[in-house]
Amino acid sequence: MLPSPAPLPRPLAPSPRPADLKLDRKRDDLLTPFGKLTATDRYLLAGEMLQDMFARVSCAFADDVAHAQRLYDAMSRLWFMPATPVLSNGGTTRGLPISCFLNSVSDSLEGIVGTWNENVWLASNGGGIGTYWGNVRSIGEKVKGGVTSGIIPFIHVMDGLTLAISQGSLRRGSAAVYLDIHHPEIEEFLEIRKASGDFNRKSLNLHHGINVTDAFMRAVGAGTAFALRSPKTNEVIREIDARQLWQRILENRLQTGEPYLLFIDTVNRSLPKHQRELGLKVSTSNLCSEITLPTGIDHRDEERTAVCCLSSLNLETWDQWNEKPGFIEDVMRFLDNVLTHFIMVAPDGMKRARYAALRERSVGLGVMGFHSFLQAKGIPMESVVAKSFNLNMFRKIRRDADAASVTLARERGPCPDAMERGVMARFSHKIAIAPTASISIICGGTSACVEPIPANIYTHKTLSGAISVRNPHLAKLLAAKSADTSATWQSIIAHEGSVAHLDILSEHEKAVFRTAFEIDQRWIVELAADRAAFICQSQSINLYLPADVDKWDLHMLHWTAWKRGVKSLYYCRSKSISRAAFAGNIADGDKAAPPQPPQQRTDYEECLACQ
């Protein structure tokens, strides 16, 4: 018989105190100068040292002193790192440990205004929001007393609210809007971030994503028409050429990086069985496209706003912890306690989020440092060996996370969604691979997420000034060859972070240190597809492409991602047109000057709510 969960989460036992822990100040040396600057600029409290921060956060969300000590040891050894809201606010009264949310808009004026109000509350706390607009009737459809103006003007209001709240807050709120590929306004929605056209129908401060269905992709493959349907009646409003719309989407992604793509049928097929049986479904994602949780009206006629409760394992330190018993369970206990704390202290303006968190208790255990791990071992990302490590790592993480969910369900009770269907699970979802742009810097400068490194040397601007960051594994290799010199690094800078020109490196070594734009993106999709089977939510996957990429190759990368079961695609990061021009013709006998780094680059805004 399943244990019954309490109607409200039971309060945590009195938190351990940092004074109860044994701290090792020498572990400061595991952070790079850049990591120390980042932590100091953003996350340390007044008068706090690095180890104090790790102890504060560990104690805030530990079961007891022994658990807090294990969490501190793991965090200070850079084995894992919580998402930045947990680092900033854990153990304090100044904010919440969760700041990433997903919600849906109902097809009524009351529903639209209610979502606006909720988003104001969420953004005022620096939250990142993903909002689904696909339920709202399209322009010209009948409503009481006339016809609707469609979704675009309402999204424009959300754009203004997001900007207003962000400018009045210390931490900037961000938002993304999602729409179904079959919504009648999909073509105008695709253009909302372009500055040209009627300003009143643009939303330049919002990000956007599209829910792409299997039916649409099959229409693209067959070259047939595709029906755009009323969200209210499901009647066909009009038909469009599927391939032409797909081409516009891909061109938009190449030019601007967006829209994000959510392969919505793949997502809902992967929904936990107990949630499918309750009639729940996913209709949106977040700002980073890795969170896939149910939103909107549920089977109890209650409104759900999903929350993202996140921490990430550091795969660069895999050899230190992968055989350590109980490590992943310790992190899952930590996340469960973070979630309980949020449910208990979130304000009334977040009641939908509190309700969703209580019902499903979903968390997102992610990773970072995959490329750094490979480079430390001399393994190219474009290799069968990388595929093998990828599969083994995620198989182990999923197995241990599943086991922890069962253990905690027996100890604390299953989440209500699971309990209703007789399932022994504390968490409905357990795994989500967030971007980790900030916490990877703290974790010794390891590579972000499952991403390839963008360059082997780059300059990063901080609140304390600019700092040059070099790939430590490349530096070690160059030192072994007596080539770790200023001249060598200057030549790498001149070649945009690449080492392909260095004669002192073997072809294998050059392959190990290829940068994101040098790696064949088919390998990125291949690795993402391989690990997808072990990820119950999704993963933030970027594609890195030249501006003059062959259009067929652009199509096939996205097509293969869908066919192989990748649930979502984040940014399409493209080199600038001006940079691509360096590949122009050179007269016979002329010596080509090395291309200089461009003065400007495309910025792809990253939401700090989940990294």
DSSP class per residue in 139-196: TT-EETTEE---SHHHHHHHHHHHHHHHHTSSS--EEEEEEETTSTTHHHHTTTT-SS
Q: Which of 357, 494, 381 is nearest to 429 (CA)?
A: 357
Domain shared by 184 and 245, yes or no:
yes
Exposed/middle/buried for 36, CB within 10 Å: 0-12, 13-18, 19+? middle
Predicted confidence (pLDDT) at residue 462 exceeds the cutoff of 90: no
Dist. CA 277–CA 147, nearest whole Å: 36
- Residue with the larger pLDDT of the pair 602 and 425: 425
Domain shared by 142 and 242, yes or no:
yes
- Point out the catalytic residue in the list 185, 188, 290, 303: 290
- Per DSSP, 27 falls in state G
What is the structure's pLDDT at 577? 37
Phi, psi of 223 (to 5 degrees): 70, 35
The tokens of 224 are what? 């047939």
- Residue with the larger pLDDT of the pair 549 and 461: 549
**459 — pLDDT class (breaks 50, 70, 90):** confident
Predicted confidence (pLDDT) at residue 603 exceeds the cutoff of 60: no
Predicted confidence (pLDDT) at residue 525 exceeds the cutoff of 70: yes
Mean pLDDT of 431-459: 95
Phi, psi of 385 (to 5 degrees): -65, -40
Dist. CA 223–CA 350, nearest whole Å: 45
Domain shared by 349 and 488, yes or no:
no
Domain shared by 124 and 255, yes or no:
yes
Give the list of residues 6+ apart from residue 501 with CB closer than 8 angstroms, or none. 491, 495
Domain shared by 348 and 254, yes or no:
no
Please state the three-class secondary structure of 29-85 as a single string: HHCCHHHHHHHHHHCCCCCCCHHHHHHHHHHHCCCCHHHHHHHHHHHHCCCEEECHH
SS3 227: strand
Query: What are the percentages of helix, strand and coil residues in the chain, rounded to 5?
Result: 45, 15, 45
- Classify the C-alpha dihedral 140-146-149-151 as positive or negative: negative
- What distance, in Å, lies between the first and last C-alpha atoms of the chain? 39
**60 — pLDDT class (breaks 50, 70, 90):** very high
The tokens of 570 are what? 């984040």
What is the structure's pLDDT at 611? 57
What is the structure's pLDDT at 176? 97
- Point out the catalytic residue in the list 89, 211, 286, 337: 286
Dist. CA 557–CA 436, nearest whole Å: 24
Q: Which of 186, 197, 189 is nearest to 158 (CA)?
A: 189
**Residue 307 domain flag:** no
- Annotated active-site residue 125? The verdict is no
Strand ranges, E, within 435-593: 457-462, 465-470, 543-545, 568-569, 572-574
Residue ending a domain, among 515, 537, 559, is: 515
| Type and span of the H or E element at 578 | helix 577-580
What is the structure's pLDDT at 589? 34
CATH number at residue 138: 3.20.70.20
Please state the three-class secondary structure of 228-272 as a single string: EECCCCCCEEEEEEHHHHHHHHHHHHHHHCCCEEEEHHHHHHCCC
What is the structure's pLDDT at 467? 85
Give the list of residues 6+ apart from residue 286 with CB closer than 8 angstroms, or none. 100, 101, 102, 128, 129, 130, 176, 308, 607, 609, 610
Strand ranges, E, within 353-455: 364-368
**433 — pLDDT class (breaks 50, 70, 90):** very high
Give the list of residues 6+ apart from residue 8 with CB closer than 8 angstroms, or none. 343, 344, 358
What is the structure's pLDDT at 242? 98
Domain shared by 363 and 336, yes or no:
yes
**pTM (predicted TM-score):** 0.92
Dist. CA 212–CA 261, nearest whole Å: 7
Half-sphere exposure of 186 (CA within 13 A, CB side): 31
Domain shared by 436 and 483, yes or no:
no
**Residue 581 domain flag:** no
The pLDDT tens digits for 273-310 are: 999 999 999 999 999 999 999 999 999 999 999 999 99
Pairing of strands 146-147, 142-143: antiparallel
Predicted confidence (pLDDT) at residue 182 exceeds the cutoff of 70: yes
Lowest mean pLDDT among 337-351, 414-428, 464-478: 464-478
Domain shared by 241 and 106, yes or no:
yes
Residue ending a domain, among 515, 533, 564, is: 515
Mean pLDDT of 565-586: 64
Mean pLDDT of 569-585: 58
What angle, 0 to 180 degrees and rounded to 10, lies between the N-to-C axes of helices 384-412 and 327-345? 60
What is the structure's pLDDT at 546? 93
**Residue 132 domain flag:** yes
Dist. CA 467–CA 461, nearest whole Å: 6
**Residue 299 domain flag:** no
The pLDDT tens digits for 534-544 are: 999 999 999 99
- Residue with the larger pLDDT of the pair 195 and 356: 356
Dist. CA 44–CA 46, nearest whole Å: 7
What is the structure's pLDDT at 460? 80
Dist. CA 16–CA 337, nearest whole Å: 13
Q: Which residue has the tokens 């968190």?
A: 357
**586 — pLDDT class (breaks 50, 70, 90):** very low
Domain shared by 388 and 324, yes or no:
yes
Residue ending a domain, among 515, 534, 555, is: 515
Question: pLDDT > 90: what percent of the chain?
Answer: 81
Lowest mean pLDDT among 7-21, 134-148, 236-250, 352-366: 7-21
The tokens of 89 are what? 């606010």
Domain shared by 432 and 479, yes or no:
no
Residue ranges making up the domain that contains 209: 100-269
Averaged pLDDT of the chain:
91
CA angle centred on 604, ends 168 and 103, rounded to 5°: 60
Mean pLDDT of 518-530: 99
**Residue 287 domain flag:** no
- Per DSSP, 138 falls in state P
Domain shared by 121 and 85, yes or no:
no
Q: Which residues are bridge partners to 178 per DSSP?
A: 132, 209
What angle, 0 to 180 degrees and rounded to 10, lies between the N-to-C axes of helices 521-532 and 551-563? 10
- Residue with the larger pLDDT of the pair 305 and 605: 305
**Residue 585 domain flag:** no
- Residue with the larger pLDDT of the pair 237 and 148: 237
SS3 366: strand
Mean pLDDT of 122-126: 83
**Residue 526 domain flag:** no
- Annotated active-site residue 308? The verdict is no
Dist. CA 570–CA 585, nearest whole Å: 34
**Residue 263 domain flag:** yes
Domain shared by 412 and 492, yes or no:
no
- Annotated active-site residue 360? The verdict is no
Predicted confidence (pLDDT) at residue 209 exceeds the cutoff of 70: yes
- Point out the catalytic residue in the list 100, 119, 211, 288: 288
Q: Considering its fold, how many domains does the chain have in total?
A: 3
What is the structure's pLDDT at 121? 87
What is the structure's pLDDT at 126? 78
Task: Give me the amino acid identity at 52.
Answer: D
